[in-house]
A and B are shown apart, each in its own frame.
Chain A
């Protein structure tokens, strides 16, 4: 089954304790991205990757790191989490261009992170 898999689904941690949220896709997509969802703000892009070893900042990158060492994996790293990073996080992937249009993003089921 074609899917984007995120782990863990729920995570409670304390300020300053490094954590990693994993993301893996099995659709051979070049493009992968992380978003956070906050009430009333919709989803905002944190980081994205156009291909292996190519990553770049989105709209809200502060406090986050990513890496893309393999095509299928795109982990999100919080080196020193703070309470304002409490949010619902989504990983997404897609092909870049299909028939002249960007193919729709496929999203994982989300990771609910609470930082106390």
Chain B
């Protein structure tokens, strides 16, 4: 059973508008969450992260929101640009030495930003 789920496999948005990507998780032990972006024929690259002690983290056009009680996080991209067209993966981890740096990934959301 998938512990991290991205229920929207794809999203299409107009350039300049907001993109909202959603992610749900089931394991309450997760305490660190990340978003990765992936272009075709490349590996995923780190975008932004958030610790479970926060409910919001912002980095330029990217903001991640965390709702621990709902076990839900979202990524907002404002404004969306054509270069943002990619697959976005939500990932979760447990911050402990024993867990190493294991990430549990969602299935991904393909974003298409139309000019």
Contact = CB atoms under 8 A, between A and B. Distances in A.
Contacts of B42: 109-110
A94 interface: yes
A41 B107 contact: yes
B105 A42 contact: yes
Nearest to A91: B43
A31 interface: yes
A43 B101 CA distance: 14
Tier of interface size on chain B = 20 to 34
Interface string B29-71: 0001010100001111110010100000000000000000000
Contacts, number: 70
A48 B102 contact: yes
B49 A104 contact: yes
Contacts of B102: 33, 45, 48, 58
Most chain B CB inside 10 Å of its own CB: which residue of A40, A43, A94, A101:
A43
Interface of B: 2, 4, 6, 9, 32, 34, 36, 41-46, 49, 51, 89, 91, 93, 95, 97, 100-108
